[in-house]
Structure 1
Amino acid sequence: MTDPVSALFVCVHNAGRSQMAAGLLRELSGGAVEVRSAGSLPADQINPVAVEAMREIGIDIAAETPKVLTTDAVRASDVVITMGCGDACPVFPGKRYEDWELDDPAGQGIDAVRPIRDDIERRIRGLLDSLGIEPTR
């Protein structure tokens, strides 16, 4: 039996985009992907509007906490997806890297965060497809 593929989502504060992406991948992969998220300058708490947007689609990320990006987290991941953190993410040979340009939900209302969430979901479904994993819903 092989280890599951692992993915790391990185943004600056690890409070919005990367947390929404991690929640979506956990849910849609049904455990087939080991999911991590981190930030280059983590915030004190998850963006409450991101929590609300995710709750609307039945995914609860309220208990998550922003985590600092570590070299070990990158080293332990097969796929590293950055979201506006620039060059803060270390690069290791043999890893798959993607940079997703997404609006930052920080300071935005729910009407602005919903399209960001939906864009992330489309990208997560594409990621699953590229990994040969059927979404659970």
Structure 2
Amino acid sequence: MSTDRPSLVFVCVKNGGQSQMAAALARQLAGDRVRVTSAGTKPGDKLNGLSVQVLEESGASVAGEHPKQLTEAMMLGADRVVVLGEEALLPEVPGVAVERWITDEPSLRGIEGRERMDLVLADIRRHVEALLAELD
């Protein structure tokens, strides 16, 4: 755990979409007040292009980011480990509490493409804002 400022790790399976979105929003909204990273349990090889587009249009950035493998060291170094969605399964690490955000999945209602991504971003933003308010 950190001693100077809270450290957050956002996790999903591929680390190409939702966890990257949460991390980018946390960096945008909190600035230097928190340390933020994201990772995946089975990371892909690239970021989701539509996720990147809606983030950039909202003022958040994933510049320099790429999918990363979640490690035990990341988990041990975090004040908060947040899993987005139901699919990512994390190893149990003694002393590490994991919280899970069940985020809206518009595709289950037949909503796809840009409209889907805007709704996903809005839902993740609500979660991130609540987390940052709690940390303050």
TM-score (norm 2): 0.86
Partner of 1:73: 74
More helix, by proportion: 2
Task: Say whether residues 1:121 and 2:125 are aligned partners.
Answer: yes
Shift in alpha-carbon separation, 1:59–1:96, aligned structure 2, 3 A: same
Partner of 1:55: 56
* Number of corresponding residues: 128
8 Å Cα contact 1:17-1:104 kept in structure 2: no
Shift in alpha-carbon separation, 1:58–1:86, aligned structure 2, 3 A: closer
- Residue segments in structure 1 that go unaligned for 5+ positions in a row: 133-137
> What amino acid maps onto 2:4 in structure 1?
D
Note the C-alpha offset of 1:62: 4.4
Shift in alpha-carbon separation, 1:124–1:37, aligned structure 2, 3 A: same
More deviation in 6-15 or 80-89? 80-89
- C-alpha distance in 2 between matches for 1:5 and 1:104: 31
Partner of 1:130: 134
Note the C-alpha offset of 1:31: 1.1
Partner of 2:31: 30
Percent identity over the alignment is 37
More deviation in 38-47 or 61-70? 61-70
- C-alpha distance in 2 between matches for 1:20 and 1:86: 16
8 Å Cα contact 1:39-1:69 kept in structure 2: yes
Q: Which of 88, 95, 98 is the aligned partner of 2:90?
A: 88
- C-alpha distance in 2 between matches for 1:36 and 1:76: 11
8 Å Cα contact 2:11-2:88 kept in structure 1: no
- Residue segments in structure 2 that go unaligned for 5+ positions in a row: none
What value does the CA root-mean-square deviation take over the aligned residues? 1.8
Shift in alpha-carbon separation, 1:48–1:62, aligned structure 2, 3 A: farther
Note the C-alpha offset of 1:85: 3.9
- C-alpha distance in 1 between matches for 2:87 and 2:32: 26
